[in-house]
Amino acid sequence: MNMITLPRLRCPNCGKNMGPVKAPEIPPANKFEDCLRKCSRCLIGATNAKNPAKVKYIYGDQPPQDPPPPAPSQP
Ligand SMILES: [Zn+2]
């Protein structure tokens, strides 16, 4: 059986590695749940394109609610 490898990507939000992922077949990813490469922390999925230039990022339903960073004090 031919395994297809999706190359490693980095989460666009936190920079965590996503993948690489090997799968016997690559389904089209139209929603977060379909993505084989996901950042579970940010709930961001990368679509299943083998070409990293063609990958799109899909956000899960419940993005984490990060508190806004404190505003830097301006002199
Ligand atoms: Zn992340």
Tens-place pLDDT, residues 26-52: 999 999 999 999 999 999 999 999 999
Is the Cα dihedral 39, 44, 49, 53 positive or negative? negative
3-state secondary structure (DSSP) of residue 59: strand
Interacting residues of 12 by C-beta distance below 8 A, sequence separation 6+: 44, 57
- For residue 64, pLDDT beyond 70: no
CA of 61 to the centre of ligand 1 (A): 14
pTM above 0.75, yes or no: yes
CA of 1 to the centre of ligand 1 (A): 32
CA of 33 to the centre of ligand 1 (A): 15
CA of 45 to the centre of ligand 1 (A): 9
CA of 48 to the centre of ligand 1 (A): 17
Give the HSE-up count for residue 54: Cα atoms under 13 Å, Cβ half-sphere. 8
Q: Map tokens 């996503």 to a residue.
A: 18
